[in-house]
Amino acid sequence: MPGGDQEPGRYYVGVDVGTGSVRAALVDQRGTLLAFADQAINKWEPQFNHHEQSSEDIWAACCIVTKKVVQGINLNQIRGLGFDATCSLVVLDKQFRPLPVNHEGDSHRNIIMWLDHRAVSQVHRINNTKHSVLQYVGGVMSVEMQAPKLLWLKENLRETCWDKAGHFFDLPDFLSWKATGVTARSLCSLVCKWTYSAEKGWDDSFWKMIGLEDFVSDNYSKIGNQVLPPGASLGNGLTPEAARDLGLPAGIAVSASLIDAHAGGLGVIGTDVRGHGLACEGQPVTSRLAVICGTSSCHMGISKDPIFVPGVWGPYFSAMVPGFWLNEGGQSVTGKLIDHMVQGHAAFPELQAKATARCQSIYAYLNSHLDLIKKAQPVGFLTVDLHVWPDFHGNRSPLADLTLKGMVTGLKLSQDLDDLAILYLATVQAIAFGTRFIIEAMEAAGHSISTLFLCGGLSKNPLFVQMHADITGGHGKNEQSWESCVSQTRG
Ligand SMILES: Nc1ncnc2c1ncn2[C@@H]1O[C@H](COP(=O)(O)OP(=O)(O)O)[C@@H](O)[C@H]1O
Ligand SMILES: O=C(CO)[C@H](O)[C@H](O)COP(=O)(O)O
C-alpha cells in the first residue's frame, strides 16, 4: 500500500499551476512522491504582448489532475491540499463570476497572465512616482506585477470590467478561495506582487499616488484585507462544492498558497546535501540559490537581513522561507525562448521527424546531435562566432528594462540541422550568462552564493544544467567552488 509501514498512510495533495500546464502530486507523510499527473491549459494572445487565461479552465484542469492522483487510495487518509500558481491576475465580479480583461468582452478570458506586457505606460508612470514601496521591488516596478495591470484595467476597461469588479486575486489566492470560500490572501503573493509589506501592511499613499485610491476607500476589500502566511490552514477546509469538483472529501485542510517559483524554491533550497561534496555543505542556507526554470527562470536567494539589489525584486520578508528575506532575480522567458528559437527555425520539421523516428524528445535529439558535431572539442566551443542576447521579452533582472529586445549575431545563409543545434546551444548559453549576471548583481549587493539548486521543466535538460554550471562556475571565484544541483520538485 502506498505510504505505509505499520502506521496508516497519510496523504497530501499538491497542485502546481505553471504557465503551460497544471500538475498534481500525491505525497505521503515523508514527502515521498506516490503519484503525478499533468494537464495542459489554454492561453490566448489576442494582441501582441496581451496574454490571457481562464480561471474556469484552470480550475477544471486542477480537478482533472487531482482526481487522477488520488485514484485507488483511501480518500479518508488525505490530510491536506495546497496550491501554488503563477502570479497572474484573476478578475471576478461581486458575485465571484469571471469578468473580461479584454476589449472583445470575452469573460471566459478573465486572467491577465504574469508575462503580459500591456501596461507599459502605466508602469512608467508608477516608476516616475519614485514612491518608497519601489525600494522593495529592486527600485523599479516590473510591468509583470499587479499594480500596473490594475491601473490598465481602470483606464481601458472601465465599464466592462473595472466598475463591475468585486475581487482581484493573484492566481494562487484565487485557487485557495475556490477550494475553501475564504478570500484571505497569502502573504507570499501580496508581498511579492502587490506592494504589501509584511511589517507595515498596505501603504495608502502609494495607491492614492498612482490613481487607484478606490482600494483605500473600501479598505482593500477587493485586493485583500486579510493576509495569512503561506501554509496557514484556511477556514473550514475544502467546501462541499469544491470537494465534489476535485473528487475529495469535504473538510480536508487547505493551506494558504504560494507563487509557483516560491513553492519550487522552498522545495529545493533546504535540500539535505550531506555526502555529495557540495560547496554549500555545512554552510548557511543563505549560500544557496534556487533557480526555478520553466517558461521563465526565477532566482531565489535568501538572507537574514534585508539586502537591496538594484534590478532584483525584493527584499521580501517571509515570502518564501519564514523569517528570512527573499531576493528574486528573474528572466521572463527562458523555456519559452528556447522553444521559440527551435520551433521557428527552418530545420524544425526535420528535427521533429528525426526525433520522432528515434522516439526521443527534440531536446534529447539536439543534445546528442551537438555531441556528434562537436568532435573532439568541448561543446561550448561550437558557438565561438554565434551569439544570442536573450532579452526577447525585455530584461527582468538585473537591468529591469522591459524595452530591451533579443539579438542574434553571427548568422550564415545555411539553415540546416547543424545550424539549428548551434543556435539552440547559443540560446541556452545566453540564458546561463543571464543567470550569472543576476548572481553577480546579488553578490555585489551582499549575497554570498556557492551553489545553485535547479528545478522545473528545464532542469530535465542536461545541457541546460551543464551550461549553468560551466558559465556560473568561473564567476570571479575558485572554479571548484561553484556547483549546480538538480532537484526536480516540479514539472
Ligand atoms: N525533458 C525536457 N528537456 C528539455 N526541456 C524540457 C523538458 N521538459 C520540459 N522542458 C521545457 O521546460 C519548459 C516548461 O517547464 P515547466 O516547468 O513545465 O513550465 P511552466 O511551469 O512554466 O508551465 C518548456 O520550455 C519545455 O520545453
Ligand atoms: O513571476 C513569477 C514568479 O515570481 C511567475 O509566476 C513566473 O515567472 C512564471 O513561472 P513559470 O515560468 O514557472 O511558469
Q: What pLDDT, on the 0 to 100 scale, is given for residue 486?
A: 47
Any idea how long the chain is?
Answer: 491
- List, chain by chain if needed, residues with CB within 6 Å of any ligand 2 atom: 18-19, 86-87, 114, 144, 259-261, 294-296, 298, 328, 330, 456
Q: What pLDDT, on the 0 to 100 scale, is given for residue 482?
A: 40
CA 336 / ligand 2 centre spacing (Å): 12
Q: What pLDDT, on the 0 to 100 scale, is given for residue 478?
A: 34
CA 483 / ligand 2 centre spacing (Å): 24
Q: Which residue lies with its CA nearest to atom 4 of ligand 2?
A: 261
User: Of 235, 145, 245, 232, which Cα lies nearest the Cα of 191?
Assistant: 145
Element (H, E) at 292: strand 288-293
- Whether 270-491 and 11-256 are alike in CATH topology: the answer is yes
Read off φ and ψ for residue 107, nearest 5 degrees. Answer: -75, -15
| Region 201-212 average pLDDT | 98
| Region 476-486 average pLDDT | 41
Q: What pLDDT, on the 0 to 100 scale, is given for residue 473?
A: 87
Read off φ and ψ for residue 116, nearest 5 degrees. Answer: -70, 130
Q: Which residue lies with its CA nearest to atom 21 of ligand 1?
A: 18
ipTM over 0.95: yes
CB atoms within 10 A of CB 119: 26
Radius of gyration of the chain (CA): 22
- 158-186: per-residue pLDDT in tens? 999 999 999 999 999 999 999 999 999 99
Q: What pLDDT, on the 0 to 100 scale, is given for residue 79?
A: 97
Task: Inform me whether the pLDDT recorded for 4 exceeds 70.
Answer: no
Q: What proportions of the chain, in percent to the nearest 5, are helix, strand and coil?
A: 35, 20, 40
Q: Answer yes or no: are the C-beta atoms of 256 and 232 closer than 8 Å.
A: yes
Residue 491 beta carbon below 6 angstroms from any ligand 1 atom: yes
Residue 14 beta carbon below 6 angstroms from any ligand 1 atom: no
Q: What pLDDT band is residue 351 in, cutting at 50, 70 and 90? A: very high
Helices (H), 358-488: 362-373, 417-445, 462-473
CA 489 / ligand 2 centre spacing (Å): 15
Q: Which residue lies with its CA nearest to atom 8 of ligand 2?
A: 296
d(CA 406, CA 281): 38
CA 102 / ligand 2 centre spacing (Å): 22
d(CA 238, CA 234): 9
Q: What pLDDT, on the 0 to 100 scale, is given for residue 59?
A: 98
Q: What pLDDT band is residue 475 in, cutting at 50, 70 and 90? A: very low
d(CA 32, CA 36): 11
d(CA 389, CA 404): 10
Q: What pLDDT band is residue 9 in, cutting at 50, 70 and 90? A: confident
Task: Inform me whether the pLDDT recorded for 128 exceeds 70.
Answer: yes
Which three-class secondary structure state does DSSP give residue 13?
Answer: strand
Q: Answer yes or no: are the C-beta atoms of 461 and 445 closer than 8 Å.
A: no
Q: Which residue lies with its CA nearest to atom 20 of ligand 1?
A: 18
Q: What pLDDT, on the 0 to 100 scale, is given for residue 7?
A: 61
CATH number among 3.40.720.10, 3.30.420.40, 2.40.50.140, 2.10.210.10, domain 270-491: 3.30.420.40
Q: What pLDDT, on the 0 to 100 scale, is given for residue 474?
A: 52
Looking from the CA of residue 334, the nearest atom of ligand 1 is 25
Task: Inform me whether the pLDDT recorded for 116 exceeds 90.
Answer: yes
Q: What pLDDT, on the 0 to 100 scale, is given for residue 487?
A: 42
Task: Inform me whether the pLDDT recorded for 70 exceeds 90.
Answer: yes
Q: HSE on the CB side for 344, CA within 13 Å?
A: 8
Task: Inform me whether the pLDDT recorded for 3 exceeds 70.
Answer: no
| Region 28-32 average pLDDT | 93
d(CA 340, CA 416): 17
DSSP secondary-structure letter at 377?
S
Q: What pLDDT, on the 0 to 100 scale, is given for residue 392?
A: 98
Task: Inform me whether the pLDDT recorded for 485 exceeds 80.
Answer: no
Q: Answer yes or no: are the C-beta atoms of 126 and 147 closer than 8 Å.
A: yes
Helical axes 335-343 vs 348-357, angle rounded to 10°: 100
Q: What pLDDT, on the 0 to 100 scale, is given for residue 429?
A: 98
Task: Output the DSSP codes for 53-79.
Answer: E-HHHHHHHHHHHHHHHTTTS-GGGEE
Helices (H), 165-212: 171-180, 187-193, 204-209
- Measured over the CA atoms of residue 120, residue 101, residue 332 and residue 389, the dihedral's sign is negative
| C-alpha cell, 154 | 481602470
CATH top-level class of 11-256: alpha beta
- 373-406: per-residue pLDDT in tens? 999 999 999 999 999 999 999 999 999 999 999 9
Q: What pLDDT, on the 0 to 100 scale, is given for residue 8?
A: 65
Residues near 138 by beta carbon (within 8 Å), at least 6 away in sequence: 308, 309, 310, 311, 312, 313, 314, 397, 398, 400
Domain ranges of the chain: 11-256, 270-491
Q: What pLDDT, on the 0 to 100 scale, is given for residue 489?
A: 33
Q: Which amino acid is at 2?
A: P
DSSP secondary-structure letter at 222?
T
Q: What pLDDT, on the 0 to 100 scale, is given for residue 83?
A: 98
Q: Answer yes or no: are the C-beta atoms of 401 and 395 closer than 8 Å.
A: yes
- 425-446: per-residue pLDDT in tens? 999 999 999 999 999 999 999 9
